[in-house]
């Protein structure tokens, strides 16, 4: 059977679609209905080798182009992506189940932003000149070589672009492995880059389960690994990369605090808590899933939140009025349900949701727990689903200590009208991305990444260039060479 969403083939290697049906079957399921929408195959070792070889071969010529030339291709790809936004957003919705209302503004558009931003930066990459009397030193900013990108399933287009754009801007080539749960969108990114003029072999996509990723990470041809995934996977990938002394970027999970003081705008704080827990059905790494609300406004917060939850609209994710989608997979729904059951067993008060929604597909209600205590499982572990935990607190000191009492350090938010407190508080938060009076805005201009167990390195912003390139120092002598004998 052929499906409308069936890609031409499972992989994109050296500028073309490639299939090998002997690879492990990889069925693609539409999370809203549970129906199959494509049949793909994992890459065999021979195909992985072919992709790495293509990337290795293409890299010197790609790096030898001027930054302006490389950037022009990336910016052209951004334009194509924007022109095809609706089609790409519909595919993203089918791949992930996220409502079209979201994917139209948060996925291909964000990918296009990254291609445009790093396309623009490509021409500005340079080293420095250091005069030492008559001698001098100059530095060259050089590509790392062949890079591997490995993605999670929640933002398949965005993750592919957030990695490919800076990597390619710096003159690296890439082999990208999407999550096996959402394999369709990265193929479109490869197609679009080719249409924009990208030379063959510069960006390749291979599908597969964890073992394909593991094979890529340990290959000697690979100089850099960038992973978006969970902390347990991050640990394994980081260790494997260390064996080969490869450079890494790790964008991992979180259990981020959102702290709401009683002088905050209640309505804005509720909006932020909704965005920080229910956007993408809670499947966002930076989500503020520990919502600390100061004692004076906690009941008012919960009352207003309950009212706002009445506006949740489930249904066909391709209907633009739907504002809440299913979980990405049956497995992820079961994981989330396990956490909800734990929350109830451990004594948290379930104030909204908690159950499945009627019908086919992997639906689950937006869920809110109140009276959550710091020792409970739902307060400590990343759930990666639409489950908000609300905690009380009395003082700023207490909120800070409890906000930081986690192994994670991806993100954090604070709501207060007291400007001095806001800055004092974020300065003391142990988190890579902090928001004051908003949550989860991640423009490409702003560095993004985690502290503590949430990761290593940064994506986005100018600083990403540091993580996708290396410096060579060249000392130039102008006089005689002195020697002791």
Residues found near ligand NDP in the complex (CB under 6 A): 150-154, 177, 179-181, 209-210, 213-214, 217, 228-230, 233, 236-237, 251-254, 285, 382, 384, 410, 450, 455
Residues 6+ apart with CB under 8 A from 73: 119, 193, 196, 197, 198
Choosing from 194, 255, 285, 365, the catalytic residue is 285
CA dihedral 153, 111, 468, 282 (to 10 degrees): -40
Specify the DSSP class assigned to residue 481.
P
Closest CB 153 distance from ligand NDP, rounded Å: 5
Closest CB 410 distance from ligand NDP, rounded Å: 6
Q: What are phi and psi of 99, to 5 degrees?
A: -60, 145
- Complex with ligand NDP: residue 23 or 171, whichever CB lies closer: 23
Sheet strands (E) in 173-281? 173-177, 203-205, 222-228, 247-251, 257-260
- Complex with ligand NDP: residue 233 or 416, whichever CB lies closer: 233
Alpha carbons within 13 angstroms on the beta-carbon side of residue 123 total 11
Choosing from 116, 251, 365, 396, the catalytic residue is 251
- Complex with ligand NDP: residue 139 or 218, whichever CB lies closer: 218
- Complex with ligand NDP: residue 160 or 293, whichever CB lies closer: 160
d(CA 41, CA 25): 5
Q: Is 285 a catalytic residue?
A: yes
Choosing from 98, 163, 224, 246, the catalytic residue is 163
Closest CB 39 distance from ligand NDP, rounded Å: 16
Residue showing tokens 């394909």: 212
- Complex with ligand NDP: residue 214 or 266, whichever CB lies closer: 214
Q: Which residue is nearest to ligand NDP (CB)?
A: 213
CA dihedral 451, 454, 458, 460 (to 10 degrees): -120
Three-class SS of residue 8? coil
Instruction: Provide the token pair at 240.
Output: 């494997």
Residue 436: beta bridge partners?
414
Instruction: Provide the token pair at 276.
Output: 């920080």
Length of the chain: 485
Q: Is 188 a catalytic residue?
A: no
Closest CB 32 distance from ligand NDP, rounded Å: 19
d(CA 246, CA 242): 6
Buried b (16+ CB within 10 A) or exposed e, 150-174: bbbbbbbbbbbbbbbbbbbbbbbbb
Closest CB 210 distance from ligand NDP, rounded Å: 3
Q: Is 180 a catalytic residue?
A: no
Closest CB 232 distance from ligand NDP, rounded Å: 7
Q: Is 161 a catalytic residue?
A: no
- Complex with ligand NDP: residue 176 or 292, whichever CB lies closer: 176
d(CA 111, CA 78): 8
Active site residues: 163, 251, 285, 459
């Amino acid at each position: 059977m052929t499906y409308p969403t069936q890609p031409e083939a499972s992989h994109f290697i050296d500028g073309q679609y490639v299939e090998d049906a002997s690879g492990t079957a990889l069925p693609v399921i539409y999370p809203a209905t549970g129906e199959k929408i494509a049949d793909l195959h994992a890459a065999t070792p021979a195909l992985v080798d072919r992709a790495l070889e293509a990337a290795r071969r293409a890299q010197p010529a790609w790096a030898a182009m001027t930054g302006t030339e490389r950037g022009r291709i990336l910016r052209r790809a951004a334009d194509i992506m924007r022109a095809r936004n609706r089609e790409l957003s519909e595919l993203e919705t089918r791949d992930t189940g996220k409502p079209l209302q979201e994917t139209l503004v948060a996925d291909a558009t964000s990918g296009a932003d990254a291609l445009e931003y790093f396309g623009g930066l490509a021409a500005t990459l340079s080293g420095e000149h250091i005069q030492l009397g008559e001698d001098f030193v100059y530095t060259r900013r050089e590509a790392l070589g062949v890079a591997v990108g490995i993605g999670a399933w929640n933002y398949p287009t965005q993750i592919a672009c957030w990695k490919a754009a800076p990597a390619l801007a710096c003159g690296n080539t890439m082999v990208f492995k999407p999550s096996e749960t959402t394999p369709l969108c990265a193929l479109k990114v490869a197609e679009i880059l080719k249409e924009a003029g990208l030379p063959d072999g510069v960006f390749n996509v291979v599908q597969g389960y964890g073992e394909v990723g593991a094979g890529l990470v340990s290959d000697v041809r690979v100089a850099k690994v960038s992973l978006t995934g969970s902390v347990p996977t991050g640990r394994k990938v980081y260790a494997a990369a260390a064996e080969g002394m490869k450079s890494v970027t790790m964008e991992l999970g979180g259990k981020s605090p959102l702290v709401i003081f009683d002088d905050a705008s209640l309505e804005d704080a509720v909006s932020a808590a909704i965005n920080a827990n229910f956007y993408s059905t809670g499947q966002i790494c930076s989500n503020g899933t520990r919502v600390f609300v100061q004692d004076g406004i906690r009941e008012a917060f919960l009352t207003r939140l309950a009212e706002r939850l009445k506006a949740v609209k489930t249904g066909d994710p391709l209907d633009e009025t739907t504002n809440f989608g299913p979980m990405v997979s049956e497995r992820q729904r079961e994981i989330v349900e396990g956490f909800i059951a734990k929350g109830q067993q451990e004594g948290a008060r379930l104030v909204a949701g908690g159950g499945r929604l009627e019908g086919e597909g992997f639906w689950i209600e937006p869920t809110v727990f109140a009276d959550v205590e710091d020792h409970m499982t739902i307060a400590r572990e990343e759930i990666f689903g639409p489950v908000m935990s609300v905690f009380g607190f009395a003082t700023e000191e207490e909120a800070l200590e409890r906000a930081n009492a986690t192994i994670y350090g991806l993100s954090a938010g604070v709501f207060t009208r007291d400007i001095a407190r806001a800055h004092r508080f974020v300065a003391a938060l142990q988190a890579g991305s902090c928001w004051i009076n908003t949550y989860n805005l991640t423009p490409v201009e702003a560095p993004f990444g985690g502290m503590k167990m949430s990761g290593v390195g940064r994506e986005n912003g100018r600083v990403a260039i540091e993580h996708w390139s290396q410096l060579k120092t060249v000392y130039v002598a102008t006089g005689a060479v002195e020697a002791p004998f």
